[in-house]
Chain A
């Protein structure tokens, strides 16, 4: 269904493509973004992490509100960087977790208030998932929030990786981005386990195959 949306829109709208992004933008209602947006509009001077390929829309919107932002594309860095360290005795891939965190998520002494994770946790190598969440926990102010999207399926068009562009309203625009294999479909229980120790968990159901979660530090 997703690819049909993009194909249909391609005929109707001018494409907004660039390296790492291709094709038209397709709007999607997001209760999670709506919730985070209200906070961004109400509180000045927040520090935000936005994950994914360069999104001028996201940069301009967030900086227009006076917030500082840190841009990273964890999935791209994980799969294209030199982080594989060979195999363990069971034949399982080993990863340079510390090196990855130091290079990709080098926050220095900065603490953050909002993280726009989007679907990154579905695509990261298994060895990096928990360390990334732990690293974010350490780098966030109390009350900091992570907006994360989770695929409910790992096959079919629903597993297509897209970039989410934020808007001033309750929608986010989806745009095809560089594809990497989806690694997992989290269950509610596995999400809770991943974010064990965080103080809040709010889930938003959606009509498509992507669920939205806001975790509070």
Chain B
């Protein structure tokens, strides 16, 4: 039985076409086409994952294959063996040897806007 603190995970055999949204940490090991948005979570793309989606999260760690843009209000890490094709907007970026990456990296104003967007609660209430 999974504990309350178990990390959300999409397994290797799972295929999702559409929008994945949440506000907690998530590990993707399967295939996702569409978009993935975690407002305050850490997104981990596992070594077996094949992602054709734009990704938005607080921190993003990539070990697998991503075709899409990555927006992080915090840090993006590209680990050895990963393959990323798309643009990265983040506050910080770290790339290991043997990581393959093609695209633009923007650590400027767009990262600040992404950070503001990430801290707005989903369906946030406004006060008058």
A-B contacts, CB under 8 A, total: 48
* CA distance in complex: A18, B97 (Å): 8
Flag if B102 contacts A63 (CB, 8 Å).
Answer: no
Least CB distance, B4 to chain A, in whole angstroms: 37
Q: How far is the CB of A55 from chain B (nearest CB, A)?
A: 9
Tell me how far the C-beta of A165 lies from the nearest C-beta in chain B, rounded to whole angstroms: 10
Does the CB pair B99–A69 fall under 8 Å?
Answer: no
With A and B bound together, what is the CA distance between A26 and B104 in angstroms? Answer: 27
CA distance A71 to B98 in the complex (A): 16
Contact partners of B96 in chain A: CB under 8 A: 56
The answer to whether B107 and A71 have CB atoms under 8 Å apart is no
Q: With the chains together, A69 CA to B93 CA distance in Å?
A: 11
Would you list which residues of chain A between 1 and 56 have a CB under 8 Å from chain B?
16-20, 45, 54, 56
Closest to B89 in A: A68
B95 adjacent to A71 (CB under 8 Å): no
Question: How many of A's residues come within 8 Å of B, CB to CB?
Answer: 20
Contact A69 B100 (CB under 8 A): no
Residue B11 lies at the interface, judged by CB distance under 8 Å to chain A = no
Closest CB in chain B relative to A171 CB, distance in Å: 18
Docked pose: A67 CA to B101 CA in angstroms: 17
Beta-carbon contact of A18 and B104 below 8 Å: no
CA distance in complex: A16, B96 (Å): 11
CB distance from B90 to the nearest CB of A (A): 9
Complex Cα spacing A73 to B101, Å:
11
Is B94 within 8 A of A60, CB to CB?
yes
Pairwise interchain contact B93-A63, C-beta atoms closer than 8 A:
yes
Contact B104 A71 (CB under 8 A): yes
Complex alpha-carbon distance, A153 and B46, angstroms: 46
User: B residues near A, CB below 8 A?
Assistant: 78, 92-108
A/B interface sample: 25 pairs, CB < 8 A: A18-B98, A54-B95, A54-B102, A56-B96, A56-B97, A59-B93, A59-B95, A59-B105, A60-B95, A63-B93, A63-B105, A63-B107, A66-B107, A67-B107, A68-B104, A68-B105, A68-B107, A69-B105, A71-B101, A71-B102, A71-B104, A71-B105, A72-B102, A73-B102, A110-B104
Apart from A54-B95, A54-B101, A59-B105, list 13 A-B contacts with CB within 8 A.
Answer: A19-B100, A20-B100, A45-B108, A54-B99, A54-B102, A56-B99, A59-B93, A63-B92, A63-B107, A68-B104, A68-B107, A69-B104, A71-B102
